[in-house]
Every structure is written in structure tokens, then in C-alpha cells.
Amino acid sequence: MSKTISGVPECILREDWTAMFTQYGFTPETIASLEFHADGVYAVVFEVNPEHGGLIFDQASEGFVKHRVFIPVVEDPEDVEKGIHRSPAMTAFAKQRLDELNEEADCG
């Protein structure tokens, strides 16, 4: 058990956990990893076959096909179209974290 912090629950009910990310279009079956950071949500997700809904297996790598996704935190929905993120420093952090996720996904 980690350090107890006032106001932070000791656990999260699966229903609450699932609701937290399904609102962004993710499902438990398609997520390899999911991280919430101050600048956005980082995810490694499995590719789904639109014909049958199953995961796509890559024979060459002997693993399921994965994609790295970043959903930035913005102040205004129009910021997404303009490519505006919280700050240049956060954008640099986002790029660094995506590079790390790319390396992790390539290994697994």
C-alpha cells in the first residue's frame, strides 16, 4: 500500500475506473496502458478489426498491433484545431513521454 493522502481513496471501484476512461472512447479490452498526466492522457491501445471487433495480431512481430495515443489538455475546445497545448514546456514533456511509450510498446 502506498502512502495515505487525505482525500485520496485507497482504491477505485472497477465501475468508476472504467467510467473514467470510457468517456474518452477507450474500452478495457483495447487498452494496453493508460496514464493521466497534467498535460493530457497517454495511452497505448490495441488495434481492433472493424469487421469482427477482435484485436489484430501481427505475424511478423508475433504480437497484437498497438498504437500510441496522446489526448492533450486544452483550455478551450478550439485550441485543439489550433494545435495549442497548455504550454511549450508541457508540449515538450508530451513529446518526451510519447517517445518513452513508443519504446515501451516496441518492446512488448
Q: What is the pLDDT of residue 106?
A: 65
Q: How far apart are CA 77 and CA 68, in angstroms?
A: 22
Strand pairing class (63-64; 40-46)? unpaired
Q: How far apart are CA 87 and CA 40, in angstroms?
A: 12
Strand pairing class (57-58; 66-72)? unpaired
Q: Compute the mean pLDDT over every residue in the chain, rounded to the nearest whole number.
A: 79
Cβ atoms of 72 and 85 within 8 Å: the answer is yes
Q: Which residue carries 488495434 as its cell?
A: 47
Q: pTM for the complete prediction?
A: 0.60
Q: Which residues contact 79 (CB under 8 A, 6 or more apart)?
A: 85
**Highest mean pLDDT pick, 1-5, 35-39, 72-76:** 35-39
